[in-house]
Each structure stands twice: as C-alpha cells, then as structure tokens.
Amino acid sequence: MKPGKISVLAPGLIGGSVALACARAFPDSTLFVWSRKKESLAPIQKSLPKAKTGTDLSGATGSDIVVLGAPAPVLADLVRSLLPHLGAQTLVTDVASVKASVEKELAPLLQGRARWIGSHPMAGSEDSGFAAARADLFQGAPVLLTPGKSIGADTFRDASVFWQALGARVIQLDPEEHDRQVARISHLPHAVAAALVRAAGTSGLPVAGPGYRDTTRVAAGPSDMWAEILLGNRTEVLASLRDLRQGVEQLATALEKQDRPTLVKFLDEAAQIRRNLSGS
C-alpha cells in the first residue's frame, strides 16, 4: 500500500512519532496532522515543515490512512466528528492501550463508513507529548493488530504493511486476548512500579542504583493517562494483581519460614522467564 495521504489526529508521544515516522517512510505522501488546540501546532510545524496542520477535521478529507492518537475514552466522540470526512476505503486505526472497549465502540461507528482495525504499538517512554516523539520509536517494536470478526483480509494486510514501513513487527491478537496479555506485561508493571516507589519512599533516593531506576522508570509516566488505562482495562488488571498478590504471599511465606530452597526456586523460575525476553 502506497498511501497518497495520511492523517494523524492528536499527536502526543505515539501519534507524534507516527507522524514523524510517516514523513520519513512515505516522503511522497501528503501528511496532515490535526490537534484540538491551535497552540499545539507550532512545534509540529517546526518538526514537520512539509506537513499540513490544523484544528479542523476536514483536513483529513481524502486520506488513505487515518491514525487516531487520542486516548481511548474520547475516541468515539472523535470518530463521530470525523465520519463526514472519511471514505469507504479509508483505513482507520488507533494507538490506544486498551482494545476490547475500543473495538466495541468504534467498529459499529465505522461499519460501512471506512475500514477499521485496532492497533497498539508497544513502544513509548515515561515522557509524553509531541516533544517526546521520535521518528525511530517503532524500529523493531511490536505493534499489536486487533482485528474484529468482520474485518477484511485487505484491511489487515494494509495495516500490517503500514506499520512495517514504520519499522515495526506486527503481531495479531483478538481484542480480548490483547487486553489479557497487555494487562500483565504493560499495565501491571506500571501499577507495581508506582506501588514500589510509594513503598520505598524518598529517604533512599540519594543511594538509589540502577536496580531501582530500571524497575521504577515507568512510574514517572503521566498519571492522568495511566489512570485512564488502568480503569479502561480494570478487569484484566485486577486479575493480574490477584496473580501478583499470590506470588508476593509465596515469597513472604518463604522468607518467614527461612525456606531457602523455596526461595531459590521462586527466584530461579522468575529469572528463567525473564531470560526468554528477546533483546534482553
């Protein structure tokens, strides 16, 4: 797929990185970047001088691909406003961290109005906003595509080609399985990092080493955004917290009983799983 026009709506860290990556991967395509706030456009125009920018969604008219960079709770309202500017063959995708609820809301709105498929780039940092965006953010990163049951093969193919052009590795999951897996490898780690920082307090910060920094980095992320994510996937996050509680209780019991074999087994099993992570 060689898109003639790509529109990126709400360019924060992920959406902004999509825009920057598109400018590099598709230099001959028209790029439109929409922001709700006019004051947000100046840094976008500076970084993307060839792109068209604006606060009017009509600028997305004629797009082959539209990437929704807004948070999950506002996507439905954004799509309702966008509908008059879409064509039946327009590929519409998002970058939200929660997928089952997004699929339930957006698929009916876009049925027969555009080609819809959910996306979730597993990339980012504790920073937020367009100022943190990078053109190389998706290089080698997994992007999870979450097609609904009625999606056409051409839609999945075109979405895959698009993300691969930005450097990503495409993985397919259904929306519910996405939420189960991502709760455990993204949402739970953030919740645990926040709890760990609170438990450790501030007195030890002057002597903190790389272990503390590595395990708590994500806790510095934007609180409003992460509250939305945790609430949006609360069923799976709660299930993962129950699994974590069970593990913590096993660890505490081994320590209380000074049960070295059980403690070694617990730590060894965790180490073996962690070593299976590619690129570690």
Rounded Cα–Cα distance for residues 235 and 107 (Å) = 21
145: left (phi over 0), alpha (psi -120 to 50) or beta: beta
Q: Hey, where are the domains in the chain?
A: 5-173, 178-275
5: which DSSP letter?
E
pTM of the predicted protein model: 0.91
Judged against a pLDDT cut of 60, whether residue 213 lies above it is answered with yes
In one-letter notation, the amino acid at residue 79 is V
Task: Quote the CATH superfamily of domain 5-173.
Answer: NAD(P)-binding Rossmann-like Domain (3.40.50.720)
Mean pLDDT, range 159-168, rounded to an integer: 98
Rounded Cα–Cα distance for residues 20 and 17 (Å) = 5
What class is the 178-275 domain? mainly alpha
Identify the pLDDT of residue 1: 72
Q: What is the pLDDT of residues 173-196, one digit of tens each?
A: 999 999 999 999 999 999 999 999
Confidence of residue 142 (pLDDT cuts 50, 70, 90): very high
Rounded Cα–Cα distance for residues 149 and 157 (Å) = 15
Identify the pLDDT of residue 114: 97
- Cβ-proximal residues to 139 (8 Å cutoff; 6+ apart), any chain: 167, 168
